[in-house]
Amino acid sequence: MSYLVAAVDSVIVVVAAIVSGIGYHHFAFGFWDQPTKYLAIGLVFAAGFVLLMVAKGYYKPSVLVFFSKQLAYIVASSFILATFLALVVFLLGASDSFSRAAIALFAATSTGGIVLSRLAWAQYIRVATTRGTVQKKKVMLIRGAGHDTASSQAQLSDFGLEAVHVLDIDEQGQLNQLLPRVSLSISNNVSEIYVMTDGMSRDALQGLIKQLRTLPVPVHFMLDSFVSQFAVLPVSTFGETTIVELQRAPLNLAERYIKRGFDIVFASIAIFFFAPLMLLAAIAIKLDTPGPVFFRQQRRGFNNKPFDILKFRSMSVMESSGAMTQAIKNDSRITRVGRFIRSTSVDELPQFWNVLFGHMSVVGPRPHAVSQEDHYDQLIARYAFRRHVKPGITGWAQINGHRGATPTVSSMEDRLEHDLWYMHHWSLWLDIRIMLRTFGAMFDRKSAF
C-alpha cells in the first residue's frame, strides 16, 4: 500500500504541474505553452515530496490512517519545495519560462490534490481495517499483569496490528514458557513482538529482555507514560551511568552560529518568495486607511537588548509607546485589511527583515511588548529566562496552541513552559519541524484576530 500511495502522490503532482502551468500561461498570456518543461518541474517536485514523506515515515498505513497528523507536514513540505524551485529558477535566470505565480499555482494545486487524496486514503484504511479487507500485521503481545485484553487489542489495532498470541508476564516462573510460545508464534507467521511494560516487575523485565535478545524477530517495547517522558530527552553516559538531560543551558557559541547561518539563508529565501505578497499587502494597507504601512514597536531581544520589531500595520490606532493593550476578538481598532493579514499571519512577514538584521531568529520565543515583559517579570519567576535566546517569528508555543492574546497569568505560564522546553531541547531539526508545523497552524484561525 505504501508504494501505491507514493505513486498516487507522484501522479497528482505531475498532472498538477502540467495542467496548472499550461492553464496559467493560457489565461495570463493567451497561448498554450509546451507541457514538457512542466513535466520536468513536476517530476523534480514529486521526487522531492516523496523523499520527504519517506524520511518521516508518512507512507506507513499506521500514519496514513490519521489524516490530521499528516496535513501540516504535507502543506509545509510543498511550500519548502516550491520555495526551493522558485529560488533555483531565479538563480538559473529562467524566470521568463517559469514565473513565480505559475510555481505558486502549481504548488497550491498539487497540495490540494494530495490533501484530498490523503483524506480518502485515511477513510479507506479505516473502513477496510474494520471490515477486514486490509489484513493487519500479525504480532505477538507480551504484557504485564492487569491489562485488559480488549483494550490491548484496540490499542494495537489503531496501528494496523493484530495480536494473535498474548502472553502475560507476572511471575518469574512464567518466563520459562517464553521461548516455546514465541517459537510457536513465529511458526504461525507472527513477524514481530510487542511488549507492554506496565505491570511488570524489574526482575521480570530484565529476564524478559535477556531472552528476547536471543530471538531472530523484531521486538518493540511500549513504554508507560512515566517512562515515555524520559525516552524523548537527550541521553549521555558517564562511565557506566546513563544520564538523561532534563534541562539544558541556553545555546552555546557553536549552536548560535549554526542557528544564525540557518536564519540568514531561510530569511533571504522567504523575503524573495514573499516579495509579491508583501507588495500587495503594502498597497492594500495604504489604500484602506491613512497612516504608515509598517508598524514599529520596541521589544526586548537576546539578553534584554532592545530592538524595533517590524509588522504590517493592522490597526487604525497604533500604540508605539509600549503600553500593554493586547488586541482582542472583534477589536474595533483592527482595520478591514488588518483583520485579514492578522488571521493569515501576513502581518508578521516583515519580521524576516528583523531576522536578517540579527534582532530575531526564525524560530524562538515570541517577543512581547516591553510593558508586558515588565508585568510578567514580576509575576512569573522564570519569565526572564526566555530572553536568553533570540525571539522568533514562530515558536514551539505557537504551534502547540498558545498563539494570540494571553489574558491571564495562567495562559502566559503555559506559553512560558513551551518556550523553556524549546530552549532546553534546541536542535536545528527541531527548528525545521516547528517551521513545517507553522504552515499548517497558519490555517487555524481560532486564536488569530
pLDDT, tens digit, 9 for 90 and up, residues 272-300? 989 999 999 999 999 988 889 999 999 99
Region of 221 (left: φ > 0; alpha: ψ -120 to 50; beta: rest) is beta
Cell numbers 493586547 correspond to 326
Looking at residue 341, what is its pLDDT?
Answer: 85
CA atoms of 86 and 103, how far apart (whole Å): 7
Is this model's pTM higher than 0.85 or not? no
Looking at residue 449, what is its pLDDT?
Answer: 44
Task: Give the three-state DSSP class for 239.
Answer: coil
Residue 414 has pLDDT above 50, yes or no: yes
**Torsion, CA 87, CA 89, CA 90, CA 93, rounded to 10:** 160
Looking at residue 96, what is its pLDDT?
Answer: 60
Looking at residue 321, what is its pLDDT?
Answer: 47
Average pLDDT over residues 409-437: 88
CATH class of domain segment(s) 137-232 = alpha beta
Amino acid at 69: K
Looking at residue 173, what is its pLDDT?
Answer: 45
Looking at residue 330, what is its pLDDT?
Answer: 60
CA distance readout (Å), 314 to 234, 332, 409: 42, 11, 26
- The pLDDT confidence band at residue 226, using thresholds 50, 70 and 90, is confident
Task: Give the three-state DSSP class for 362.
Answer: strand
Are 360 and 354 in contact by the 8 Å Cβ rule? The answer is yes
Task: Give pLDDT tens digits for 336-358.
Answer: 888 888 888 888 999 999 999 99
Residue extents of the structural domains in the chain:
2-131, 137-232, 253-441
Average pLDDT over residues 414-418: 90
- Residue percentage of the chain with pLDDT more than 70: 81
CA distance readout (Å), 350 to 72, 275, 319: 23, 10, 18
Question: Terminus-to-terminus CA distance in the chain, angstroms?
Answer: 42
Can you read off the three cell numbers belonging to residue 130?
Answer: 474494520
Residue 164 has pLDDT above 60, yes or no: yes
Residue 231 has pLDDT above 60, yes or no: yes
Cell numbers 514597536 correspond to 297
Residue 115 has pLDDT above 70, yes or no: yes
Residue 187 has pLDDT above 90, yes or no: no
Average pLDDT over residues 79-84: 84
- The pLDDT confidence band at residue 447, using thresholds 50, 70 and 90, is very low
Average pLDDT over residues 159-171: 71
CA atoms of 128 and 441, how far apart (whole Å): 30
- The pLDDT confidence band at residue 90, using thresholds 50, 70 and 90, is confident
- Residue percentage of the chain with pLDDT more than 90: 18
Looking at 11-20, 137-146, 317-326, 364-373, which range is the least confident one? 317-326
Average pLDDT over residues 160-181: 67
Looking at residue 358, what is its pLDDT?
Answer: 94
Residue 243 has pLDDT above 70, yes or no: yes
CA distance readout (Å), 264 to 6, 81, 86, 179, 340: 33, 18, 18, 57, 28
Looking at residue 279, what is its pLDDT?
Answer: 94
How confident is the prediction for the chain on average, in pLDDT?
A: 80
Looking at residue 32, what is its pLDDT?
Answer: 67
Query: Is the torsion defined by CA of 350, 354, 355, 360 positive or negative?
Result: negative
| Burial of residue 63, with CB atoms counted within 10 A of its CB: 0-12 exposed, 13-18 middle, 19 or more buried | buried
Other beta carbons within 10 Å of 39: 15
Other beta carbons within 10 Å of 281: 23
Average pLDDT over residues 185-205: 77
